Amino acid sequence: MATAPRSETILLTGGGRLCMAQPEASAPPTTLSPWAVLVRDGRFAWVGDPRELPPGARPDATVDLGTALVTPGLVNAHTHPAYAGDRADEAAARLEGKAYDGGGILRTVEATRSTRDETLRARVAERLGAELAAGTTTVECKSGYGLSTAEELRALRLIGEAADELPVRVMRTFLGAHAVPPEAGAAADYARLVADEMIPAVTANRLAEFCDVFCDRGFFSLADAELILTAAAGRDLGIRLHAEQLARTGATELGVRLGAVSVDHLEQLDGAGVAALAAATTVATLLPAPALVLRGGLPPARALLDAGATVALASDANAGTFSGWGAMPLVIGLGATLLGMTVGEALAAATMGGAAALGLGADRGRIAPGLAADLVAWDAEHEGAFALRLGAVGPERIWVGGRDVSPWADPRSPASRAGPPGR
């Protein structure tokens, strides 16, 4: 999960573009060229012009990254990796306009419950490996395909075990309120079970940092969500919401009122919701990939940015509405093309914005002294490639916590299959 910091000092340098996201998450990154970065104890120690290197700097090693575009490691603040089964048939049926009764999330719940620990853990590890291979160094991972106390705890435990196998940083989110399981009664009864039984079990076992609720038409009501999130906050879990994806429900305002770190989706958000987020610290996490697949509208990215809200871009990789693992370069491209963001804004939203959406804005998502040295050198020379190549951009080199994990950059390489270097 977390990587051990290196005690040596490394000098990274290049003649290409170093994109440094800004503390204000919505501001596009400033770029430096030529550039140099000193990394010490797993953190950035200094960033600047290579001709102005601090006199005392005596790097143990120097790496020249040539003309490659270099950015902070990407932060994917919304994924659902703990599932089994495949629902590609549902996607095809939906796009053919057929009324579909595939059982949706519950179909995945059934497949996941009947999958052994070892298999499910391997699936999660593969998905996290694909994220890292595509330049994502921090991934938020939700449970939510178990929907019973034992199954939700199992999913969170297996996510943690899978994360320990890889040099990627993982934040876990308990999403017991993803759907109402078939054996439960009404949604309100199940919400009470989530609040009274599942949340205490999750926190007693220290299995998650956040609690999330699918608060939308046909899923959990505002009252259900408030019950669950209040219980979560009372046990020191950070809170986040699936909000305004299918209908404008007011989940955004509920999240703001309860101090949610992020509200996610927002395809149906209106002007009042934009204003609420602009006046709050709650991050607007936008998920263009499932919005594109579902054809149910796009989130108002431009209005949110113009109003001054903090915006994050994430993949929402999951079992049923978008299953692309390692898709963050595509998501940045979609932010810039489909959602009307500039490429700089989209890149900031996938780095600093994602970090802010996980409450980690002071720790990662930027290249600045004191922050974790998570960094990617891309097979591109300008960030415009994320829009121009729409997904066909990949890392050449990756550092996580100052540790070179570049063999993970190519999922086909033998080093990647054998596991992270040095293990």
Instruction: List interacting residues with Zn ion (CB under 5 A).
Output: 316
Q: How far is the CB of 316 from Zn ion (least distance, A)?
A: 5
Dist CA 219 CA 265 (whole Å)? 15
Write the burial class of residue 95 (CB in 10 Å: 0-12 exposed, 13-18 middle, 19+ buried). Answer: exposed
**How many angstroms from the chain centroid is the CA of residue 197?**
27
Please state the closest distance from residue 399 (CB atom) to Zn ion, in A.
29
Give the nearer residue to Zn ion in terms of CB position, either 322 or 408.
322
User: Is 316 or 396 the residue whose CB approaches Zn ion more closely?
Assistant: 316
Please tell me whether the peptide bond between 34 and the residue prior to it is cis, using omega within 30 degrees of 0: yes
Cβ-based nearer residue to Zn ion, 3 or 76: 76
Rounded to an integer, what distance in angstroms lies between the CA atom of residue 370 and that of residue 232? 31
Minimal distance, residue 209 CB to Zn ion, in Å: 16
Q: By Cβ distance, which residue is nearest to Zn ion?
A: 316
Distance CA 366, CA 360 (A): 11
Q: How far is the CB of 96 from Zn ion (least distance, A)?
A: 24
Bridge partners for 173 per DSSP: 142, 210
Environment class of residue 89 by beta-carbon count within 10 Å: exposed (0-12), middle (13-18) or buried (19+)?
exposed
Closest CA to 173 of 208, 214, 215, 213: 208
User: Quick one: 3 or 108, whose CB is closer to Zn ion?
Assistant: 108
Neighbours of 335 (CB within 10 A): 28
Could you give the dihedral angle defined by the CA atoms of residues 53, 55, 58 and 62, in that order, rounded to the nearest 10 degrees?
Answer: 20
The alpha carbon dihedral of 270, 271, 272, 275 has a sign of positive
CB under 8 Å to 231, separation ≥6 — which residues?
194, 195, 196, 199
Cβ at position 79, least distance to Zn ion in Å: 8
Q: What are phi and psi of 220, to 5 degrees?
A: -100, 140
CB of 69 to Zn ion, least distance (A): 29
Q: Output the smallest distance, CB 80 to Zn ion, in A.
A: 6
- Least separation, in Å, of the C-beta of 141 and Zn ion? 11
Report the residue number, 224 or 316, with the smaller CB distance to Zn ion.
316
Q: Toward Zn ion, which CB reaches closer, 113 or 240? A: 240
For residues 267 and 316, which CB has a smaller minimum distance to Zn ion in the complex? 316
Nearer to Zn ion, 151 or 316 (CB): 316
Q: Please check whether residue 235 is in contact with residue 199, taking contact to mean a CB–CB distance below 8 angstroms.
A: yes
